[in-house]
Amino acid sequence: MNWYKKSEELSADAFCRGYCAEFAIALHRITAWPIFIFNEVVKEDEEEYYNLVHATVKSPNGKYVDARGFRTEQEIANNLLATDTTPLEKYKIENVSENDLYASTEVIEEAIKEAEFFISKHHKLLGIGVRK
């Protein structure tokens, strides 16, 4: 994935459409909340494998947090598309480390910096505290 800035400041939409891993890493670094990924479960013949479709963090209140704010598992799942662009029917949620996320998808460092800026600027809107 090539990183590019679409405008002076990226919107929350950009971090939910292609740069969710970077947003999750940034939010994890700021809050220390654990990273979770939503994987599409794909079955071919007798084999089952997973495709990462969304990355987020999980807050102490049990809700997931991404660039759209605090959301339930179902709210996130309802907005995800499978690799064939149909609504995601079967998925698996997994707690991963930052290193695991780097290993499972391309991560753009500049996008993490943009996400950190976005979070620091909009932390009240997102409903999160920012550690000093």
* Domain extents in the chain: 20-126
Residue 35 has a pLDDT of 98
Residues 6+ apart with CB under 8 A from 96: 35, 36, 37, 104
Residue 84 has pLDDT above 80, yes or no: no
Burial of 52 (0-12, 13-18, 19+ CB in 10 A): middle
Contact 66, 16 (CB under 8 A): yes
pLDDT tier at 89, thresholds 50, 70, 90: confident
Residue linked to tokens 């987020």: 56
Angle between helices 20-31 and 109-126 (to 10 degrees): 60
